[in-house]
Structure 1
């Protein structure tokens, strides 16, 4: 693979002591237009440094790394700077054609090296040297927005109902009274739709946040575990983050699963259900629901006819679980997951995170330190 990549590069080689440089090269080098079309910075680095062993310079102010190149005897550099990856030369207009050829050659070599890139990534994942993207905050905000919209719509609908009742007082016109009666018995459905969307958003958030919660507690420490949890069911994520032997955990798990199975899963899978909820069998008494009352079992949120449910009772269960999830030893995780978007780093699961999870104050101090490190890295402020 190295031989194929070198053949693809042709005259693009590491700089050496015979490479000719324009005077004041390092102080006057500018971006070339062609350099804006280079592959992703990590592919260029993996290709030239990790696979082919090109010499390179480490970080300096506003520069993460520099690779000096020789192209037909002339010096160019590839640099990953604060403003992005680029191919640099003091006279970019004069060498535009050469720069374009260098970029084309790097693209060809990167294509040859695709199996190496995949192998390199796999080895890092196997070593658990990975970050896990943290979308907890925006997912939570989505849930809160939909829930508040549902409650606001429900409140407005109740106000309109009261206004209709006030208007009906003293009326004797039968058509008006019938219209008001029908409006009372057929409430506006929009608040229920929004509440269902909020329930869906809640489980989307918890599927995500429970994995991060497990990492912060050191209960999940490898990339393989994260991948397995991400592909698994909600209950597996719950058990990874929360000890089921903890007081109240099993009871709360049953209540949350009732909401998930009766509402979220029911709608997500076409609103048919898996126990005949959408079926009515023929009988001398008329059409009868297949899901007779004696078959309902201990779950309390199951749909009846239509898609109506008691949103207030459901939201109370979700609130209870959210409180439990960030209670006790898990309390410090709330600030990490709901007030920041830093990824969780598996190599820190048993060290820095263990220290930070000792108390909310320890987490605040850690996040202040970590925020400065992240900012310095993003700015390439070495």
Structure 2
């Protein structure tokens, strides 16, 4: 075994958690036949849901049980190996999935191995919970950059809405009569139905677009917070992630005191309250527009009175073409605001797909890369991308 090998400190039998783990893994020992070639062992991949976080297997067997290990290697990140009831066994994280290595004529049932491991891993997770919470509070975490996915979803629905509203402005297609002869377009009713159908389709896509945009926006703002390089206080990351979208925005862009920025923020809030919230929360409008009280001898009156004129339900079609266009203009203006000035560099890191870490040292690296100018920023992105590709493809 040419790769690096070693043993970690074994379980402390006095620790109750360690004692429970040891009982769960009865029959598991770090003994492995000397000279046995791992390549000669049979391999199989359990269902991915059986071991959703395979690196915890390495932590369990190497760090807690003291099993020998090796790695990384060609197309594999690590291998840890030992014995179960005297039979050699190994666990390996390969490019194409978590793999269990067995002897060519195993006697121990595979189901037993999987069952014992799953039971022990539950104890490991309980053991690690306090540590994980402390790491999160200190900002010692990474967030996967999924901005391109959120952005693509938003653009997808925006394009569909644009097409539908454009279709509503065009006359309906001529009917094709029998024999292939093109007839006249339908009458007034057919034309009205065409406009109503296309506009309704645009309304559906536009509301989906709005919801998608705000999801992308919140994700984007969290990423930008990291790439600005500003240090985080203890617990601040959780506060940021739990804050409202407009508070996230104000933490990134100095909107307060900027007349244009404040106007744009007001328009965004109106879109959020008028469109996104009602359709995302079962039609509930925060100002009472979805509630009607009974006025004796008169009838049902909206609880928000004349403010009902601003409700999405005030018109026959909740989102008309003009509403959609105004929304798109606001979104475009905010996109421009989040990618110019001091945010040019941070936005480039977001757009490049860099997964941000929030620890103090990495934040300093982001700040230095942004301050170094365009050339330094592109160099940083190339290096990060190369390291990411090597890790993802397990090209070590």
Q: TM-score, normalised by structure 2?
A: 0.76
Alignment RMSD (CA, Å) = 3.7
Shift in alpha-carbon separation, 1:374–1:96, aligned structure 2, 3 A: farther
Any idea what the Cα deviations from partners look like across 1:51-91, whole Å, max 9, x if unmatched? Answer: 334443343443323323144455443333333333335xx
Equivalent of 2:244, from 209, 230, 233? 233
User: 1:339: how far off?
Assistant: 4.6
| Counterpart contact for 1:46–1:117, Cα < 8 Å | no
| Counterpart contact for 2:84–2:108, Cα < 8 Å | no
User: 1:150: how far off?
Assistant: 1.1
| Counterpart contact for 1:34–1:100, Cα < 8 Å | no
The worse-fitting range, judged by mean Cα deviation, of 122-131 and 326-335 is 122-131
Matches within 5 A, 1:235-274: 235-245=246-256, 247=258, 248-274=260-286
2:163 pairs with 1:152: yes
Give the distance between the partners of 1:181 and 1:57, measured in 2 at CA: 72
User: 1:245: how far off?
Assistant: 4.5
Match of 1:56 in 2: 69
Match of 1:379 in 2: 393
Matches within 5 A, 1:124-143: 124-143=135-154
Q: Which secondary structure state, in structure 2, belongs to the residue aligned with residue 331 of structure 1?
A: helix
2:347 pairs with 1:350: no
2:54 pairs with 1:78: no
| Counterpart contact for 2:60–2:121, Cα < 8 Å | yes
User: 1:240: how far off?
Assistant: 2.7
Match of 2:315 in 1: 305
Match of 2:381 in 1: 367
Matches within 5 A, 1:162-173: none
Q: Which secondary structure state, in structure 1, belongs to the residue aligned with residue 170 of structure 2?
A: helix
Equivalent of 1:328, from 341, 347, 357? 341
Shift in alpha-carbon separation, 1:77–1:281, aligned structure 2, 3 A: closer
Give the distance between the partners of 1:71 and 1:159, measured in 2 at CA: 72
Any idea what the Cα deviations from partners look like across 1:318-343, whole Å, max 9, x if unmatched? Answer: 11111111111112333333353x42
Give the distance between the partners of 1:83 and 1:314, measured in 2 at CA: 44
Equivalent of 1:213, from 216, 221, 224? 224
| Counterpart contact for 2:30–2:65, Cα < 8 Å | no
Gaps of at least 5 residues in structure 2 are: 1-16, 175-185
Shift in alpha-carbon separation, 1:44–1:190, aligned structure 2, 3 A: same
Shift in alpha-carbon separation, 1:191–1:64, aligned structure 2, 3 A: closer
User: 1:235: how far off?
Assistant: 1.4
Shift in alpha-carbon separation, 1:67–1:120, aligned structure 2, 3 A: farther
Q: TM-score, normalised by structure 1?
A: 0.79
Match of 1:193 in 2: 204
